[in-house]
Amino acid sequence: PGHQPAAAPGVPYGSPQQVPGTYQGAGSYGFQPQPMGFPGGFVVPPVQNQPNMMGGTIWMPIPPSIPNCPPGLEYLTQIDQVLIHQQLELLEIVTGFETSNKYELKNALGQRVYFAAEDTDCLTRNCCGPSRPFTLRIIDNLGHEVITLQRPLRCSSCCCPCCLQELEVQSPPGTTIGYVVQNWHACLPKFTIQDEKRMDILKITGPCVVCSCCEDVNFEVKSLDETCSVGRISKQWTGFVKEMFTDADNFGISFPMDLDVKMKAVMIGACFLIDFMFFEHTGDKHQRTGVW
């Protein structure tokens, strides 16, 4: 009596994992690299918990606090997939006037984990376009800002290897937990995920031709030696009309369940940086769909 059954395997709502405390390198981040050929599908596990309803939105149940885990990142200990849906902006569709981006971050059950909103001024958005510097604020279902992403104004051309893209990830706001750094390469989009001490942890490699013509675009997350697949960031195909006339994108992120929550948060930051660099071009059918 009183015994609580364990959650079924693969369900992201069992007992929370232990989050590593002080770590000293890639080997301390608690993940087991998977063989090359990481599956790209996102499997939906069966429902186990009663979801929370707030304002008509189904929210992921609030997990308990965990020692050594930045407040608000407890959600990430219980999931191995994040689905990111950018909200459509009617003004932007009709006029082409660049508005602040807003995103829903959901788990595999479709329950909202976080909400993200861009914090930039109108002049910056419309003068700098997708190359703009930004602050992206990610809040939980209690309205607390749990992750802050800061992107400075940098170059994204391979002709300027000394000033490539970079994104800083903070959690809680004001406390740096990692960076996403673009690496120079003649033809491939490549990035490095670093911890707060600028130590390299993971690599990200995208396809030579970044276009989404009727199929997903996959960016592989790999070990430092690039021999093992650790996860994947996928820009999902949303249909010809939406791809042609809007810049509202859907992404899927997969990572090991036991990956350190801080590195999971940095991978989320990497997804947003990839979105702005390669897919944030309203109506640019050459870049988005491959149709010339």
pLDDT at 161: 67
pLDDT band at 205 (very low <50, low <70, confident <90, very high): very high
Stretch 257-262: mean pLDDT: 96
Residue 225 lies in a domain: yes
Per-residue pLDDT reduced to its tens digit, 134-146: 999 999 988 999 9
Residue 70 has pLDDT above 50, yes or no: yes
Structural domain contains residue 160: yes
Q: Is the confidence at residue 64, as pLDDT, over 80?
A: yes
- Which of 112-121, 167-176, 239-248: highest mean pLDDT? 167-176
pLDDT above 70 as % of the chain: 65
Q: Which of 113, 80, 109, 110 is nearest to 253 (CA)?
A: 80
* Whether pLDDT at 111 is above 90: yes
The label of the residue with tokens 């093992």 reads: 228
Contact (CB, 8 A) for 257 and 14: no
Number of domains in the chain: 1
Residue 289 lies in a domain: no
Residue that the structure tokens 């997350």 belong to:
221
| Range of lowest pLDDT (31-35, 106-110, 140-144) | 31-35
Confidence (pLDDT) at 16: 43
What sections of the chain are H helices per DSSP? Answer: 90-95, 122-128, 240-245, 261-278, 285-289
The position carrying tokens 């970044």 is: 210
Is 45 a member of any domain?
Answer: no
Answer yes or no: is 28 within a domain: no
Please tell me the least confidently modeled range out of 189-193, 198-202, 249-253: 249-253
Distance of alpha carbon 216 from alpha carbon 105, whole angstroms: 18
Question: Strand locations in 144-249, DSSP E?
Answer: 145-151, 166-170, 176-183, 190-195, 200-205, 217-222, 229-236
Per the structure, the complete domain to which residue 229 belongs is given by 74-238+261-279
pLDDT category of residue 120 using cuts at 50, 70 and 90? confident
pLDDT at site 151: 94
> Domain for residue 67, yes or no?
no
Q: Who has greater pLDDT, 272 or 248?
A: 272
Band (pLDDT 50/70/90 cuts) for residue 180 is very high
- Are residues 107 and 60 in contact, defined by beta-carbon separation less than 8 angstroms? yes
pLDDT confidence of residue 39: 41
On whether residue 59 sits in a domain, the answer given is no
Whichever domain contains 141, its CATH number is: 2.40.160
Quote the pLDDT of residue 234: 94
**69 assigned to some structural domain:** no
Residue that wins the pLDDT comparison between 219 and 214? 219
Report pLDDT for 124.
Answer: 82
